Chains A and B, each alone.
Chain A
Amino acid sequence: MTTVTHKIKESSGDRTFMIVVYAILAVVLIVVLYPLIYILSSSFSSPSAVSAGRVWLWPVDFSLRGYETLFKNPQVLTGYGNSLFYTASGTIISVTLTVMMAYPLSRRSFFGRNAIMMIVTFTMLFSGGLIPTYMVVRELGMIDTRWALIIPNAVWVWQVIIARSFFQSSIPDELVEASEIDGCSDLRFMGSVVIPLSKPIIAVLVLMYAVGQWNAYFDALIYLKTADKYPLQLILRSIIIQNNSGNSVMDAMKQVERQQLSELLKYSLIVVATLPVLIIYPFVQRHFVQGMLVGSVKG
């Protein structure tokens, strides 16, 4: 039936309008997509092609030199390992704490729920600032420990709001009442009813926190001092932005070759650092959208 309504002949004005819309969208598509393709193609090209500016769309003189060099660099490997560790442990802690906060707040009968909600959302509007927060982390003896990257930013208010909205709309009050009559304790109810029913929201939380943790770098910059604890993003910054090209592997090579390779290395590094997120991206996108919608319904 809907197709019939669409088949109604469009006026010429509408047709022109649609042509303009499609044209603009096509330009947007190219503007967004092209840089991504360019980076990917460069990373698979030969060092000389990259530094001569010969790459335009597809890889030129296909080569894996960039990636080979990268995975021989001990700094990059340590960074990768560290980032995996921070992402895994940080996500587990963050998701656990978020669910622990959001579920009680979703219960209508929970006394103090509005007050706690106010306390939590206020932190979105106002904060003590960088230095006072730094002082707390220092007082707790977390400076230059791995904890500093996992704990101080563990819970995001927005995630609590999203999770709370989900619990409110998907765990019916009748279920709570019925379980209470059966003498089921709140903890048991959470463990054997709430958690199994909440797989979608837990997936959203896991994805959001994992992406956030993988991409984070500022906490590492201010709290870490020892290089073996650096996450990949910090290594990336030192190699690309500060131009300390991972010298250790390239010392022996000739000057020109070294320079060419360091240029190529940057492209490969960008791809490698974004890879984990890109792999889960299509999956992430769907859930992200859902999560955002659930959250904005309340918002």
Chain B
Amino acid sequence: MELLRKLEILADAAKYDASCASSGTEMRDSRDGKGLGSTAPGMGICHSYAPDGRCISLLKVLLTNACNFDCLYCVNRASSNVARARFTVDEVVKLTIDFYRRNYIEGLFLSSGIIRSPDYTMEQVVSVARKLREEHRFRGYIHLKTIPEADEALIAEAGRYADRLSINIETPLEESLTQLAPEKDQRAIRRTMGRLRLKLDETAEAKKTVRRAKPPRFAPAGQSTQMIVGADEANDRVILSTSANLYGAYKLKRVYYSAFSPIPDASRALPLQAPPLVREHRLYQADWLMRFYGFDADEIVEENEGMLPLDIDPKLAWALRHRDRFPLDINKASREELLRVPGFGTRTVQRILATRRTTTIRFADLAQLNVVRNKALPFIVLSDHRPSPSLLDGAGLRARLRPKPQQLGFGF
């Protein structure tokens, strides 16, 4: 099969993986003239965007889309009739280098269907990374998908070459994984995540203690995972508490939420409809609240509700449920309190704290602080602004803050 056709099949098969990040790894460059590539300091670089709004920072492909497993949500499942292809190790290596030299990408994200055995598949995936690093002295970003239950030695080797390792939890409910992906075992997935975390901890620990030999490198950008949203019955509360557990137990850098989208040759057992993109977006916002705003998973979604509201963001929804904590004087409130004001981002809070050390913040200053004003105003007090009590307590507040419904269009 010609290379272009293979690329088409194997990139198409990889497009359901939401992970795109190329950030948070160690700093590398090739100024010594003995290799190719660098990692971007701080955040990674998105080299392009697709019309689905998603960033293209890595060459994201499967090594092969042939798979022994029959996961119903997956386009590559054994029983689907899609065209199959398989890259050779050298083909992926060459494509990565060729794309990289033209500044199309930051590196490679390699995943694979499971063929022959988990160990065989993992070995193939690892050999691409090994070749890139050792033969081509490639110093760009590499993200490898870990195959559950692959041998520990292979995982260690993967961590030596990769910046990030990931293994997908797939579904929040273990029961639905059993139904949708009979060969996948969530316990095995969790065990692998646990092993990865122990390895990451070990390496971090070894770096702290002074030693003659450097500890073997292990995935400096950590591990991440993905959950499919909308293919089973799990509600948002279940999803977020699953995430909280994953973050706490395995110190994941990211949990990605992937709204289940229609796939070619779909199984009849699945809900066939357009993907719930707004719901996915709300979950990312809620996830953000857990990671950067000090929210606990179970306060984001009300116990008796189960789902995040789709019409307003989760922080605004939380504030509307906790009106007794507002209005908040932003010249006096603590950092933790400020982080809970709708329309305030972490940078806004930082700026407020720095500014109010020397001057009092007034209404006219809000524009410079990057505050989303219509969201924040009912909840804050300034020396020259105080929301009327009837506004904050009134029944109409939610309707007032909800964005006006718009005709969806393509923006062209």
Bound together:
no
Q: What residues of chain A have their CB less than 8 Å away from a CB belonging to chain B?
A: none
Q: What residues of chain B have their CB less than 8 Å away from a CB belonging to chain A?
A: none
